[in-house]
Structure 1
Amino acid sequence: MSKKIEQLTEKLVTDVISDEYELVDVEYVKENKEMYLRILIDKAGGMSIDDCEELSRIIGDKLDEDDFIDDSYYLEISSPGLDRTLKKDRDFIREAGKLVEVKLFKAIEKYGKEFVSKLNGLNGNMVLLEIDGDLLEIDKKSIAKINLYIEF
C-alpha cells in the first residue's frame, strides 16, 4: 500500500510543482505509531524555508483535494540536504565526479562494507566508483546506502 501512495504522491507533486523544482524522493513510512509522508524537493541554488513552506501549502492542498490516503499522517516537505542520498539513475549521473559515502550489504575485499570514493557515474545498474586509483563497478542492488560525502 505504501508504494502505491508513494507513486500517486510522486505523480501529484510533479504535476503541481514548477519546473524550477526537482522532486528528489517520496516516502510514506510509519515511525513510532505515526505515519509520515516525506517529500524531498531540490532546486538550483538550494531550497529555502520559504520554498518548503510554499510547497507544503500547495502540495498539502492538492493532497487534501485528491484524498487518496486513508490514514492520518504528517506531511513533511524538505530539502534532501548537502549529504543527499542517491537513489535514482539521474542522481548518479548528475553527481558524477563528487565524493560519495558508500555502505554495502556485504563487504568487498580490500575496502570492506563502508568507504568513501569518487563517483564516476552509472553504467546500466552498475555504479562506477574510484578509490585510490582503483576502478570499481558495484551493482546498485549491493548498495545499502550511498550519500554525497561532506568534507569539513
Structure 2
Amino acid sequence: MTKRKVTEIVEELATPIVEGEGLELVDVEYKKEGANWFLRVFIDKPEGVDIDDCGRVSEKLSDLLDEVDPIPTSYFLEVSSPGAERPLKKPADYERAIGKHVYITTYEPIDGQKTFEGVLEAYDGEQLTVRESKATKTLKHEAIASARLAVAF
C-alpha cells in the first residue's frame, strides 16, 4: 500500500472523529524514520488544542484503526497540534492566513526562485499574493509544492 493511499484512508477514518470532538483535521502524514513507521495526525481549533484533545482523538482513532486495520505494517500513532508553522493545504487555510507570515515553495522556479517568504496579502482560490521584503509576487496555486505559516524573526 502506498503512503498516499494510507494517508487518504486515515483521513477518511479520522475526519468524523476529529469533527465529533469539535476540532479540525489539519493533516495526516505517514513516514518512515529509521526502522520505524509513524502515522501523524495533526488537529487544531481556533483557541489551540491541548493534551486532552489529542488524547481523546488518539484513543478513538487507535481503536478504529485496530478494527479496520488499513496499515499492514506496525507503526507509531501520534496525534498533535500542527504547531506555529501550520501547513496550508485547504482553501480555508489560505484564507485564514491572509495577513500572516508564510513560507512557500514551488515545483518550478518562478523568476529564478523556488522559495517565497513574506506576508500573504491575497488568495482567491486560483492564485495568491505574497509580499516579500523587496517585492510582491503573485503565484498560481497549482505551482505551489508546499505552503505553511512561518514564524518571522
- TM (normalized to structure 1)? 0.84
Superposed CA deviations along residues 63-112 of structure 1, whole A, max 9, x for unmatched, are 11111111111111110001112122221112112111233455544x84
The match for 2:96 is 94
Displacement of 1:25: 0.5
CA distance in structure 1 between the partners assigned to 2:91 and 2:71 by the alignment? 28
Contact 2:38/2:77, CA 8 A, preserved across alignment:
yes
The match for 1:9 is 10
CA root-mean-square deviation: 2.2
Secondary structure of 1:5's counterpart equals helix
- Map residues 110-129 of structure 1 onto 2, 5 A cutoff: 112-129=113-130
CA distance in structure 2 between the partners assigned to 1:112 and 1:69 by the alignment? 38
Contact 1:60/1:75, CA 8 A, preserved across alignment:
yes
- TM (normalized to structure 2)? 0.84
Secondary structure of 2:70's counterpart equals coil
Q: Among 68, 90, 93, which residue is 1:66 paired with?
A: 68
Secondary structure of 1:40's counterpart equals strand
Q: Which residue type is aligned with residue 67 of structure 1?
A: D
The match for 2:141 is 140
Secondary structure of 2:6's counterpart equals helix
Q: How many residues align?
A: 151
| Gap regions ≥5 residues in structure 2 | none
| Identical pairs, percent | 37
